[in-house]
Amino acid sequence: MNSKEKVLFRRTKKWQEFRSFILEKYEYTCFICGIKKKKGLHVHHINEEKYGNEVEKDVVLLCSTHHKLIEYLLRRKVLDIDDFCKKLKEIYLKSKF
């Protein structure tokens, strides 16, 4: 899915319902810092290939600060996307959530 298709998808009812489900299930809490917020949270895809057909294990809830940081590090290639996603999935599956 290209970036224009992603923007359009995020406007769909399917995405809005999925996003609400993730926010509520994880109690509006950033996965990295543990801060609870009602605004400024992002559902970050850890499996880009599933964009549009994602399930719970394909995403992680992040505050805007950590989402921006992770995106920056991935763009700058400070983090390897495959290694990062693999580690994040491992941590996510072991977490309290």
Q: What angle do CA 57, 70, 30 make, to 5 degrees?
A: 55
Task: Name the burial class of residue 22, with classes exposed (0-12), middle (13-18) and buried (19+) by CB atoms within 10 angstroms of its CB.
Answer: middle
Reply yes or no on whether the pLDDT at 21 is more than 80: yes
Confidence grade of residue 28 (pLDDT, cut at 50, 70, 90): very high
What local confidence, expressed as pLDDT, does residue 81 receive?
Answer: 63
Q: How many structural domains are present in the chain? A: 1
d(CA 73, CA 70): 5
Reply yes or no on whether the pLDDT at 70 is more than 80: yes
d(CA 79, CA 45): 15
What's the mean pLDDT in 80-95?
A: 68
Q: What CATH code is carried by the domain that includes residue 68?
A: 3.40.1800
- pTM confidence score: 0.76
Give the pLDDT confidence of 32-68 residue by residue, as tens digits: 888 898 888 999 988 778 889 999 988 989 999 989 8
Give the domain range for residue 38.
3-94
